[in-house]
Amino acid sequence: MVRGRHAALIALALALSAAGCGDDDEAPATTPTTAQEEGCEPVEQPKPKSVNLRAPERVLKRGERATATVETSCGTFTLELDTKRAPKTANSFAYLAEEGVYDGTWFHRIVTDAFIQGGDPLGDGTGGPGYTITEKPGPNTSYLRGYAAMAKTAVEPAGTSGSQFFIVAQADAGLPADYAVFGQVVDGIDVVRRIAALGDPASGQEGTPTQPVTIERVTIETGK
């Protein structure tokens, strides 16, 4: 497996689809880091936190308009949740957001310019919320730039999700229709691509970040 139990199938599919100083009397000049140049704040990697929740009751109504505003150390992006085609998955994501599961976590896996993966309260790719749900995606499901989908292991049924999710930063991830798509970035795709640039190219599909990028909070709004 690659970097935790939620990475193997995504890694395989993506692999197939590839892939100075101032004067003595002045303060030394500093050269901004890549992250600073890209608009990211330097942050520490969050500490793991334990989460053990039961599967949620209805938080979102099927078909209602709902968005998730994701504030990160690299900026803010907004997802429109697909409550019509993926009502169970969108509902679970909104529930986890409202329970604060995503707050204070980080994007533990960043495959350079391809996708970013987060939502793990343990922060190492092995964690979850204490439950899973299953909502099988349609056979023609695609994974295009800005699409948000739930991560799963290779042995779990199609459409299984816990709390970990990924957002596609490339034109087309070329993945099989195994991952439940729960939304799409409608504002701030530049932030997603900024984060996606912070993977270590040498790590390949393992997706080691070059620095921590945190999720500060996720806010759900409905009816707008």
CB atoms within 10 A of CB 100: 13
Average pLDDT (187-209) is 97
Q: What is the pLDDT of residue 89?
A: 98
What pTM was estimated for this model as a whole?
0.85
Kindly report, residue by residue over 96-123, the tens digit of the pLDDT.
999 999 999 999 999 999 999 999 999 9
Residues 127, 101: Cα–Cα separation, whole Å: 11
Average pLDDT (145-169) is 97
Q: What is the pLDDT of residue 13?
A: 47
Residues 163, 196: Cα–Cα separation, whole Å: 20
* Beta strand spans in 16-171 (E): 66-72, 75-81, 105-106, 109-111, 115-118, 133-134, 147-150, 160-161, 165-168
Kindly report, residue by residue over 15-55, the tens digit of the pLDDT.
433 333 333 333 333 333 444 446 899 999 999 999 999 99
Residues 181, 158: Cα–Cα separation, whole Å: 11
Residue 189 has pLDDT above 60, yes or no: yes
* Domains defined along the chain, listed by start: 39-44+64-222 (2.40.100.10)
Q: What is the pLDDT of residue 53?
A: 98
